[in-house]
Structure formats: C-alpha cells, structure tokens
Amino acid sequence: MVLSSSKPPDGPRTSIMEEAGQKLKRVREKLRLRFRDVEEASARIAARHNNDEFVVALSRLADIENKGTMPSVYRLYSLCAIYRIELSEVLSWYGISLPGLPGDADLMQHSRTHMIGFKPEDGEVQVPVSLDPGLDLSRTGFLSRLIEKWGTLPLMLLNKLDLKNQRYGLIGTGDWSMFPIIPPGSLVVIDDSRRRIMNSGWSNEFDRPIYFLEHKEGYVCGWCTLRDEKVIVQPHPASFCDAESYNYPSEIEVIGQVTQVAMTLGQTRPRAQNA
C-alpha cells in the first residue's frame, strides 16, 4: 500500500510559502506574541466583522509559519492587523506584487470602453532618469538610443496630476468612435471637476472638449452637445460611427472631461470590415 503525503511538493512555490511563513513568525516573535495571543486577537476581529473566517486558530497559525500553508485572505487580514504590517507587503512575501497589477491587466484586451479602477500609486512605469546631455529635444530622434539610464517611478510621481480630480479610463479595442484623435486601446486621463458640457467656445476639433460618460450599458467617449435635456454624443467624422442621443441626466452621466491621452503607436488592431 502506498500512502500519499499531505506535504506539498518541493519547488519554488513551496519555498516562497515557507519563507513567507517564517517572516510572519519573526514578526510575531519580535512582538513577543504567543499563538494564544494571536488566536484571541483574531477572534475579536472576527466578532467585530461577524465572520469566523477571520479567526486564526492555533493549529492553522503553526501550519502557516512552519509548513508553508497559505492563509486565506481573511486570516491574512487578521495577521496584518495584529502585527501592524501592510497587507501589500505581506502579499509580496508570497510573490504577489500589487504594483504589477496594472501591467498584468494589460494582458486582457477589452473591446468595450471602461473606467480603470487602479489608483495611480498602484502602478509603476519605466521612465528615463537621465538623458544624453547632447540631446536636442527640438529635433526628432530615436529616444531609446539616447537614454543613459532608466528608472522606475510611480505613476503619481510621473504625471504630476491633481489626483483628487483625476480619473482614468481605457478606450476599448473595439471603440473607434474618436479615431484618429483617440485610437482604440488608448489610456485617457479624466478630470472629473469638468463635468459641465460646453456647447461652444472652441475654434477647432482639437480644442473642442471630449467627455467621458457612463450610461446603463457602459461607457462612451466623445464630443457632446446638450440640447433640450438631451445629450448628443458625437463621434469623430473620420470614425464613420453614428451619433447617439440620451436623455440627460436620467440616462447618462458625465464622468468628466478627457484632458490627456496616452496611446500605443502601430499596435491598434485592424478594424472590422463591418465597423
């Protein structure tokens, strides 16, 4: 008879789990907390939230620290609260990097335009920290050859935006309504302090405000005209998309005005023939 072992197979994942458990153990020991102290504290957290999933029992804590058992999200929350440590830091011990979430999200291409729920500080981008002193920014050049050093900066440090009034949206890969000004797949910055629709005051299509709006079926981005309690969302003429009309404000809400656009050149998917 062959008996199967409950011990997880050796490998990189097991090693990460065991190392994370040992780090949690060191934090507990540094605070001079006994297993019983942790269990009792977690029971109080569970009582506050009326959810027994928050309880970290003695045997479970021993398995987490010594056997590399992965705690549930509830138990992990309790341990972070009891040990006074950031949840994001403990997740990194288990090989989960929250700053990498926006980058991993890009692996899924959505055809519909939508809001982005990531906070700017949750992501990081690669930007040039220093440039070739001889670089002439007035002339077109191949920037990659001129970069001396690349560094990682949080988005909030890079864009210098007013984060209280800025939100982010992603134009769906199937949304051609504002092409070529805003190609499909573009990232847009939305100033939600500018929600009043302007019917005039611009001299050309580049000066005309572009709005990001939400209706019951999703989101739409385009020029807007407010007329007789109706909002007409107008696409770019070159997009060959039709204008859409909504009762305002019962059927549609203005999220804000698009103030900046980031796009990837040369990687827009070919447009469907019937689009």
Mean pLDDT of the chain: 80
How far is residue 100 CA from its own chain's centroid?
9
- The predicted pLDDT at position 225 comes to 95
Which tens digit of pLDDT belongs to each residue from 110-149? 888 888 777 655 555 544 555 556 655 444 343 444 444 4
Q: By C-alpha distance, which of 250, 193, 249, 258 is closest to 220? A: 258
Q: Who contacts 22 (Cβ-Cβ below 8 Å, separation ≥6)?
A: 65
- Residue pair 233/224 in contact (Cβ under 8 Å)? The answer is yes
Residue 6 has pLDDT above 80, yes or no: no
**pTM for the model:** 0.60
- Residue-wise pLDDT for 52-61, tens only, equals 999 999 999 9
Instruction: Please report the pLDDT score of residue 5 as a whole number.
Output: 36
**Predicted local distance difference test score (pLDDT) of residue 93:** 94
Structural domains in the chain plus CATH codes = 12-96 (1.10.260.40), 166-262 (2.10.109.10)
Nearest CA-CA partner of 213 in 229, 227, 232, 186: 232
Q: Answer whether 275's CB lies under 8 Å from 172's CB.
A: no
